[in-house]
Structures are given as structure tokens and as C-alpha cells.
Amino acid sequence: MILRDKNKNLLIEETQISELAKQFGTPIYAYSEKQIRKNIQSLKTSLSKHFEKFQILYAIKANSNPHILRIFQEEGLGADCSCEGEIFIAEKLGFSMKDSIYTANYQLEEDLARASQKGIILNLDDYNQLDELCKISKPEIISFRINPGIGRGGFEGIVTGGTDAKFGFPYEETEKAYRKALDLGIKRFGIHMMTGSNNLEPFYFAEITQKIMTIAGESLSKLGIQLEFVDIGGGFGIPYTENESEIDLDLTFKLTSDAFYEGVKKYSLGNPKLIVEPGRFLVGNAGVLISQVTHVKQTYKRFAGLDAGMSTLLRPSLYEAYHKILIDRKSEQNEKYFLTGQICENSDIHPQEREMPNLEQGDLAVITDVGAYGFVMSSHYNHRPKPAEILVSGKNVKLIRRAETLEDIWQKIEA
């Protein structure tokens, strides 16, 4: 997505990074509309080869900027919402609620009440909330988030299944959950499982699909339930490091469809559609964070400071997540540095010593693959204003969120 011309200038689509920094300042998040639409199309193409019926729900949590969301709405995707705020923004932008899903965890009864009024499909993290829900309004269709007892992800913090995960309920209770729903008069059903994030292995998705089909079949066939959908969540990864490769989508969905249709046939589960909930895969590689080298210092190690720290991009500090970092107008790698932000935490540092060009104050450093879980996880720590966001389409550049000022932060405080 990031290109380098013959003069070593870095470009996003047809626009020079240096021009963006000059116009908008640093740090700044920049997204490629072309890359987002390309990601959507590649996912649609691979799914359509292997599934008769499927639906893509964009995971709003990954990047919730309305201008980004509007692209997904235009492309016909539904919304995967994890909280009331995400339902609010999805509805504002015209996403179909009946084609979207709400999967929260540890929610208040009033959260459940407001969600049920919107007509969005409810995917309960705990089947014991059925009683609360039916006192409010009995849903036409219900789904449950099943924890299969296993999980896998790029980091421990993004594993969402297994015995240590806070999500879903044990798969051993699946029959009990659906029986309870039947007893309450609910007649339409789906099932959901999401066990981890940023997986690049095609066989993993076949494995979890086989797992959810077996759980559904062994539990629901006893109850005579036929499913309207099977939701395997997201978790489709992107390569962050130089030695990782892109996920093979065609193989992924070939293997997944084999497990899916085998389970449907074996357990007579009806004619369900497959639902996927990608976030990172659709926006991760479409975003960069343009920052500036603020200072280079030699202590016991050699540090290069950037004006984008953990308040701007949290992932390196939170997960020790690796992001490639490119320097505008310099491509050689003849020096070694630890790259750090300006926040007063020693964890505000990118993992691993990096081989870089000779860095000087004012150099533009481009942190790649930050389109997902970048801006949305930013904060005001150390009283730092949040950066601007821009959307690039060819040579057209649109400011989609202005940079905050200290005055903006102050105005929210009743001093």
C-alpha cells in the first residue's frame, strides 16, 4: 500500500507522504480508500467461490471513523457491533439493523433493552440474560456466543476463546442455552464463535468451523433446531512482520466450506448462511501513521524519539506488537535504533532494535499497518491531544477528523 518512488519519496496511493505532513502536520493517520475497497473485493470474491450464502459484517471496533464506515456501507456490508455506541453510529450511517449483529459482553440490562429496540440481531454472550431480554421484548431470532474451550491469536491479549477467555459460555452448555430459548418461545436461531484475532493459517479457520458445526450438531439436532446462520467471527490476519505472508483467502474458505457443508449435511442443520466479521483484514493494511523524528539520543542504547507515542498508537506498548517503520527519502539500513515515543512510560517503545537509515531530527517516519486498532485505541494520556485522520483516494485527500488541540480537551472539563 505504501510505495517508494525513484527519489525514495514514500507515497500513499498517488500522494507523497511529505506533502501530507506539510499540509496537516504530524502525527497523523492516513488511510487508502483504494486499499480498503480492494480488501473488501478480495474477501467477497473468495467467499463467493465456496459459499452459496454468506454475509460480511464489518467489525466496527477496528476503525470507527464514519468516513471509513461509509465505504463498508456503500459496499453492502453489515455491521458487527460490540456496544451501544457502535449501534448508534451504524444506524446513523444507514447500516441495515436486521443485517447486523450486536455481540456485547457483561452488558447492563438497559444496554440490552436499547439494543433490542433497534431490530439488530442479538448474539448473547451469556444465555442467562435470556430471562432479562424476554421481559423487555422477546426477539424473533437469537444467537449465542459459544466458547469452544480453545483459542488462538497473534498475542495472548487477543485470544478470545479458551478456558481463560472472558467471552462466551462453555460449549458444554450449548444445548441448555438453546433449550431455554425454545422454552421461552423463540423460534429462529443462529450460532456464533470467535476464538482469536490476527490468524494467518487457513487450516485454523477450518478447524474452528468444524468445531462449531460439531457443537451445533450434537446439541441442536436433539432439539430439532435448524440454523439460519453460523457466524465464525473474524480473526483473519494481516502480516505485520517482514517474515509473515498474507493469508491465502481462497484456501481458507475452501477448507472452511468443506467443514461447513459437511456439518450441515451430517447434522441436518437446515440451510444456514456463513457470517464472517472481519475488521483488521479490511482496514489494517490500509492505514499508516505519519510521524516525525523528534530527537536522537545515545545512552546505554541508541534511541530515536517519534512524536507518535503510546497515546497515539497503543499496540506496541500494550501487546509488544511489531509494526514496520519506513523513513521518507531514506531507504538504506545502516544504523540501529530503538524507536520510542514521548510518553512518560518506559513501555512507550517499539519492540526490537531496528536497522534503520541514519536518523535525524525532522525525518518522517511512517508506521505501517495501523488502519485497525490504531486511532480507536488512542488516548489523552500525558494530556496529549489526539491526531487527525485523512482519507486518500488517488491524488484526492480528505480530512476526516481534525486534530485535537489542548483547548479541545480543556473545554470538556468543568473547571
Ordered DSSP codes for 127-145: GGGHHHHHHH---SEEEEE
Whether residues 54 and 28 share a domain: the answer is: no
287 contact partners, CB below 8 Å, separation of at least 6: 29, 30, 31, 32, 63, 369, 370, 371, 372, 374
Mean model confidence pLDDT for the chain: 94
Q: Mean of the pLDDT values across residues 82-96?
A: 97
Q: Write out pLDDT tens, residues 144-172.
A: 999 887 655 554 544 555 656 778 898 89
Q: Write out pLDDT tens, residues 224-251.
A: 999 999 999 999 999 999 999 999 999 9
Whether residues 112 and 247 share a domain: the answer is: yes
Which is nearest to 77 in space by CA: 52, 43, 49, 105?
43
**Which of 252, 281, 310 is where one domain is finished?**
281
Whether residues 45 and 110 share a domain: the answer is: yes
Is 344 a known active-site residue? yes
Whether residues 93 and 207 share a domain: the answer is: yes
Which is nearest to 236 in space by CA: 224, 219, 253?
253
Beta strands in 115-202 (DSSP E): 121-124, 141-147, 169-170, 188-192
Q: Is the pTM of this model over 0.75?
A: yes
Whether residues 103 and 113 share a domain: the answer is: yes
Distance CA(63)–CA(239), nearest Å, equals: 18
Q: Write out pLDDT tens, residues 112-134.
A: 999 999 999 999 999 999 999 99
Percent of the chain with pLDDT over 90: 88
CATH number, domain of 114, equals 3.20.20.10
Whether residues 328 and 199 share a domain: the answer is: no
**Which of 233, 253, 281 is where one domain is finished?**
281
Whether residues 141 and 223 share a domain: the answer is: yes
Q: Write out pLDDT tens, residues 57-83.
A: 999 999 999 999 999 999 999 999 999
DSSP 120: P
**Alpha-carbon dihedral angle through residues 352, 355, 359, 362, given to the nearest 10 degrees:** -60
CATH number, domain of 362, equals 2.40.37.10
Q: In terms of DSSP bridges, do strands 169-170 and 141-147 run parallel, antiparallel, or are they unpaired? A: parallel
**Which of 235, 264, 281 is where one domain is finished?**
281
pLDDT at 155: 43
The one catalytic residue among 81, 83, 134, 344: 344
55 close to 78: Cβ distance less than 8 angstroms = yes
Whether residues 53 and 117 share a domain: the answer is: yes
Query: Looking at the chain, how many residues does it have?
Result: 415
Whether residues 46 and 26 share a domain: the answer is: no
Q: Is the pLDDT of residue 44 over 80?
A: yes
Q: Mean of the pLDDT values across residues 275-304?
A: 98
Q: How many domains does the chain have?
A: 2
pLDDT at 151: 54
Distance CA(402)–CA(405), nearest Å, equals: 9
Percent helix, strand and coil across the chain, each rounded to 5? Answer: 35, 25, 40
Instruction: Tell me the residue range of the domain where 383 lies.
Output: 2-32+284-411
296 contact partners, CB below 8 Å, separation of at least 6: 302, 303, 304, 305, 337, 359, 360, 361
pLDDT band at 194 (very low <50, low <70, confident <90, very high): confident
Whether residues 367 and 404 share a domain: the answer is: yes
Q: Write out pLDDT tens, residues 312-342.
A: 999 999 999 999 999 999 999 899 999 999 9
Whether residues 262 and 355 share a domain: the answer is: no
Whether residues 141 and 177 share a domain: the answer is: yes
